Amino acid sequence: MVGKRVRTRFAPSPTGYLHVGGLRTALYNYLFARKMGGDFIIRIEDTDQSRKVEGAQQNLLKTLEWAGLVPDESPSKGGDFGPYLQSERLEIYAGYCRQLLEDGNAYYCFATSEELDENRQLQMKQGLQPKYNRKWLPESMGGTMPESETKKMLESGAPYVIRMKVPDYVSVWFEDIIRGPIEFDSATIDDQVLMKSDGFPTYHFASVIDDHLMEFTHIIRGEEWLPSMPKHLLLYEFFGWEPPKFAHLPLLLNPDRSKLSKRQGDVAVEDYINKGYSREAIVNFIALLGWNEGEGCEQEVYSLDELVERFSLERVGKAGSIFTIDKLNWLEKQYIKERPVAKIIETIRPILEEELSSKACLLDRQTITSDAYLTEVVELMRERVGFEHEFVTFSSYFFFEPESWEEEAVKKRWKADTNQLLAEFLPVLETLPDFTADGIEAALKAFVEPKGLKAAELIHPLRILASGVSFGPSLYHMLEVLGREAVLRRIRKGMECISVPA
C-alpha cells in the first residue's frame, strides 16, 4: 500500500434519512482524502432490498451535496453526483462467491428460518453465544453433511444461502489507526452468510469486494462495525488481498451518555437543516464530535478548508462524543456574527417575501425589502438572533405592524400617567430635526429630566408600542430603523388600544 494514492469512501444504505453520525463518517472520510491529496468516493450499499426506502438515496445525496461533500467519481447515469450502486454489480459478487466455493472457503446452507431460530433459542438457553450450528457444512470441509445431500437439494431447487467457513482456532488481528491493535478469536466468529437466497450479497461480502476492487486505502467508519472486522479480514485472507487501513470512529452519545437516538431528540441531518442551522455550523459542529486539533489550541470555529488543512485521524479520540445542542447553537451564532450582510440578505429576502404575501403590511414594501433597509435590520439584530430566519420571524416588527402588545409587560410598565406622557412626547418626535438614534435619545432625556422622571418611564412603553414586545435591540436604534412615520403611527394606535390602569 506504500505509495498508493489515498482513496476513501462513504457507503450508506438507502434505508432512510442521513443520520448525524453518518454525516460525521462522510466528513472524516472527505477531510482525510482532501488532506492527503486523494479521492473521496460515495457508494450506495443497496444489497438489502427489503430495507430499501423509496427516495432515501436521493435524500442522502442531496444532504451530502448540501454539506459540500462532493465525490471525485460519479459513475452512475443521470447527473454529476451519481454514486456507485452495489445493486448494479451483482455479477461481480457472484463470481467471487463461486471462487470461495471452489476453494473450500464457503458452502451451501439450506437451513430454514425456523431451524435457525430454534437453534438460536437453544444456544441462548445454554448460555452460549448464538452461532450457526454448521448442519450443512460438507464432510469434505470437516462437517457432517454428505456432498450427495447438498447436490440433491440444489437439483431440487430448494432455496439456499452461501456461508463462509470460518477457520477453527485462529486469531484475527489488525492495527486500528484510532484504537491500536485489536485481536479476535475465531471461536467467537459465526459462519456468516455471503450470498442470500434472493441472489444478493450481504453487506459484509459486497463491501470487502468493492473496497478491494475500488482500491480504497483507508476505511473510516463507526465503531459499531468493529465486531464485523474479523469476518472482513478473513475474506481478505481467502482472496489473498492486502487489507486497507482501518479507523473506527467513536460513538455519538446523548448528554446522559446513552447512545444517540431519535428517542431523545433529532438525529437526522435534515431535521437540523429544516430548523435553520447553516451548513457551516453543522459541518463545524460535526467535525468536533470526536476530533480536536490538540492541546493548547483554543480555536473552535473552522471553515471547511481549515478542517481539511488541520484534520488528522491520529487526533480522533476513542471515547464516545457527547452531542451537545448548546454547542451547535453557539457555533450558529458565531457564524451569524461573522457572515457578510449580503449573504444573510440573500437568505432572508425570500423568507420575507413569503411572509409579505400572506400578511398585511403598512410599511412601504419596496423600502423594507431593499438592501439598505435589510442591512440596517441585520446589523442591529446580529447579536440577538440564533438563526438567519429569525431576522424575519423573531424581528417581525421591522416589517409588520404589531397586532398585539405583550400583556405582562403592559401591566408592569404602564402607569396612570403613561399615556399622558406619551401624548406630550409625540410632538417632540414629530418635529425632531434629526430622527436618528442619537437625536431620539437626546430628545427623550431632555423631555424627562425637567419632570424629574427616569428615562425608563418612556423607554419601556415606547418599545412596547413600537414593537409589541418588551425586549429587543437598542430602542433608539430600533426607532431610527423603523422611521418617523411608522413610529408615530404605532404609538398612536397603541395608545388607543391600551387601557390605562385605574
Query: Do 324 and 354 belong together in one domain?
Result: no
- CA–CA separation, 379 vs 310, rounded Å? 32
- For the chain, give the mean pLDDT: 93
Does residue 202 form part of some domain?
A: no
Is 216's pLDDT higher than 50?
Answer: yes
Query: Do 105 and 168 belong together in one domain?
Result: yes
Is 47's pLDDT higher than 50?
Answer: yes
pLDDT at 467: 96
User: Which pLDDT tens digit goes with each residue over 103-114?
Assistant: 999 999 999 999
Summarize the confidence of residues 271-280 as an average pLDDT. 95
Q: Whole domain around residue 283: which residue ranges?
A: 1-76+250-338
pTM here is 0.90
Q: Among the options 4, 151, 152, 262, which is catalytic?
A: 262
Domain of residue 362, CATH code:
1.10.8
Query: Do 417 and 486 belong together in one domain?
Result: yes
Residue whose C-alpha cell is 469476518 = 231
User: Which pLDDT tens digit goes with each residue over 428-464?
Assistant: 999 999 999 999 999 999 999 999 999 999 999 999 9
Is 75's pLDDT higher than 70?
Answer: no
Is 78's pLDDT higher than 50?
Answer: no
User: Which pLDDT tens digit goes with each residue over 328-359?
Assistant: 999 999 999 999 999 999 999 999 999 998 88
User: Which pLDDT tens digit goes with each residue over 123-182?
Assistant: 999 988 899 999 999 999 999 999 999 999 999 999 999 999 999 878 889 999 999 999
pLDDT at 457: 95
Does residue 456 form part of some domain?
A: yes
Query: Quick check: is 411 catalytic?
Result: no
Contacts of 147 (CB under 8 A, 6+ apart): 138, 139, 140
Does residue 235 form part of some domain?
A: no
Is 393's pLDDT higher than 80?
Answer: yes
Residue 262 pLDDT class (50, 70, 90 cuts):
low
Query: Do 383 and 451 belong together in one domain?
Result: no
Query: Do 356 and 326 belong together in one domain?
Result: no
- DSSP letter string, 385-437: -SSTTHHHHTTGGGTS--SS--HHHHHHH--TTHHHHHHHHHHHHHH-S--SH
Cβ-based neighbour number of residue 297 at 10 Å? 10
Summarize the confidence of residues 298-309 as an average pLDDT. 95
Query: Do 109 and 174 belong together in one domain?
Result: yes
Is 382's pLDDT higher than 60?
Answer: yes
Instruction: Name which of 322, 145, 304, 174 is nearest 243 in CA terms.
Output: 174
Query: Do 481 and 440 belong together in one domain?
Result: yes
Phi and psi, residue 67, nearest 5°: -75, -10
Task: Look at 127-141, 258-272, 276-290, 382-396 and tell me which has the smallest mean pLDDT.
Answer: 258-272
Query: Do 391 and 419 belong together in one domain?
Result: no
Summarize the confidence of residues 93-102 as an average pLDDT. 98
Does residue 11 form part of some domain?
A: yes
- Which of 338, 353, 386 is the last residue before a domain boundary? 338
pLDDT at 433: 94
Domain of residue 159, CATH code:
3.90.800.10
C-alpha cell at 302: 473552522
pLDDT at 500: 67
Summarize the confidence of residues 222-240 as an average pLDDT. 95
b/e burial code for range 28-64 (CB count within 10 A of at least 16 → b)? bbbbbbbbbebbbbbbbbbbbeeebeeebbebbbebb
Is 380's pLDDT higher than 90?
Answer: yes
Query: Do 173 and 148 belong together in one domain?
Result: yes
Number of structural domains (the chain) is: 4
Query: Do 385 and 300 belong together in one domain?
Result: no
- CA–CA separation, 39 vs 101, rounded Å? 34
